[in-house]
Amino acid sequence: MVEQRTTRALRLISDNMIWFILLLSLTVFSLAVQGFFNVRNFRNIIHHSVFIGLLAIAQSHCLISGNIDLSIESVAGMGAILSAWLCGASVFASGLQVNPFAGLLIVTVIGAAVGFTNGFFVLKFKIHPFLVTFSTYIIIRGLAVFLTGGRGVSQLPDSFRLVDTTKFLTLPLMVYILLIFYIFFYFVLEKTRFGRHTFVIGGNINAAYNFGINVDRHLFRIFALSGAISGFTGWLMTARAGGATPAMAMGFLFETLAAVIIGGVSITGGFGSLAGVLAGVLLLSSMRSALNILAISPFITEVIRGLLVLAAIVLDSVKRTVGRK
């Protein structure tokens, strides 16, 4: 009995460790870094978390289901440049000047189609998702460069930027979109059959087949969802920047993976929570803000981020060990 209580206590602490780390980090940064503790900086931390936060939702679904999607960065970049190309009025735009919200629908559907294609090759040809999505990562990034000849697109309609310029309680509308996404998908993963099936497939795919779960259909949906969220994220990036270049979202993949792993999602599948992922996203954004204020070299930032990821992987291993006891 005592051993079971100890195990449950250790699991509770490990499952919520990231929130304690986030709180401790914010406290240390506020006391040690001059200029960190102010409303404007906290607002910027939240604002800067939007894109990584959304991509982290997509990646979390993939990892929890026992898969991975390396193409999210390129799909977001393609969503950014494609939406600008469709809606912009500059020299290298399409000239169509599509309504921004029609552009949103187009890039989201294309993102979902890329995800569905990933799922097709993974499930029908039995190719490892790492290899498939790494290939589409390269292909989609190349198509983004080809679309405008490597040039940026600007002169977007004012209505395109409403999602960033419209504010409530001093926070842009896209911040509330991020929060809505987290609340919605947290509910989906924790309280719905879709979420339960995601965890079962990631935890033990053979058991999922035995339970009668249509594994292939479910994973098709996971990959399509990942692509759709990535395309939508690209549209938001363009809305914030007021334009786009083919290089947008470069480097987001590894930052997203770092946030997801630090947030407690198991790299082996079957375990994780979007509550922890959100904390991981905010932790990385807070750390970046503090290091920027201190004018610390970005190379040191990468070292610290890597150490955090390593610590998270070790913690994941400990949790799995505790779970087996």
- CA-CA distance, 75 to 68, in Å (whole number)? 14
DSSP states of 193-248? HHHHHHHHHHH-HHHHHHTT--HHHHHHHHHHHHHHHHHHHHHHHHHHHTSB-TTT
Q: How confident is the model at residue 7 (pLDDT cuts 50, 70, 90)?
A: low
Whether residue 224 is contained in a domain is answered as yes
| Sign, CA torsion 313/316/318/321 | negative
The pLDDT value given to residue 306: 83
- CA-CA distance, 123 to 119, in Å (whole number)? 6
Q: How confident is the model at residue 153 (pLDDT cuts 50, 70, 90)?
A: very high
pLDDT at 131 over 80: yes
Whether residue 64 is contained in a domain is answered as yes
Q: E-strand spans in the chain?
A: 167-168, 171-172
The DSSP symbol for 264 reads T
What is the dihedral angle through the alpha carbons of 183, 224, 272, 208, rounded to the nearest 10 degrees? 120
- CA-CA distance, 98 to 119, in Å (whole number)? 30
Whether residue 23 is contained in a domain is answered as no
The pLDDT value given to residue 302: 81
Whether residue 72 is contained in a domain is answered as yes
Whole-angstrom CA distances from 29 to 26, 210, 283 are: 5, 50, 11
| Sign, CA torsion 155/159/164/166 | positive
Strand partners, 168: 171
Which of 77-86, 245-254, 309-318 comes out lowest in average pLDDT? 309-318
The pLDDT value given to residue 127: 97
Domains held by the chain: number: 1
Tokens of 211: 């339970």
- Give pLDDT tens digits for 227-242: 999 999 999 999 999 9
pLDDT at 6 over 80: no
The pLDDT value given to residue 323: 56
- Give pLDDT tens digits for 43-94: 999 999 999 999 999 999 999 999 999 999 999 999 999 999 999 988 888 8
The pLDDT value given to residue 160: 95
- Residue whose structure tokens are 């960033």: 164
The pLDDT value given to residue 15: 66
- CA-CA distance, 102 to 10, in Å (whole number)? 49
162 CB burial (10 A radius; 0-12, 13-18, 19+):
middle
The pLDDT value given to residue 316: 73
Whether residue 147 is contained in a domain is answered as yes
* CA-closest candidate to residue 236, choices 178, 197, 296, 189: 178
Mean pLDDT over each residue of the chain, to the nearest integer: 91
Structural domain range at position 225 = 49-249
Q: How confident is the model at residue 301 (pLDDT cuts 50, 70, 90)?
A: confident
Q: What angle do CA 99, 243, 232 make, to 5 degrees?
A: 60
Q: How confident is the model at residue 297 (pLDDT cuts 50, 70, 90)?
A: confident
DSSP states of 62-93? HHHTT---TTHHHHHHHHHHHHHHHH--STTS
pLDDT at 320 over 90: no
b vs e for 247-286, b when ≥16 Cβ sit within 10 Å of the residue's Cβ? ebbeebbebbbbbbbbbbbbbebbbbbbbbbbbbbbbbbb
* CA-closest candidate to residue 255, choices 80, 118, 8, 52: 52
Which of 34-48, 117-131, 150-164, 286-300 comes out lowest in average pLDDT? 286-300
pLDDT at 135 over 90: yes
Mean pLDDT (whole number) for 24-51 = 93
The pLDDT value given to residue 74: 97
The pLDDT value given to residue 27: 95
Whether residue 118 is contained in a domain is answered as yes
Q: How confident is the model at residue 8 (pLDDT cuts 50, 70, 90)?
A: low
The pLDDT value given to residue 94: 86
Whether residue 166 is contained in a domain is answered as yes
Whether residue 299 is contained in a domain is answered as no
Tokens of 172: 């842009």
- Report the percent of the chain where pLDDT is more than 90: 75
Strand, helix or coil for residue 192: coil
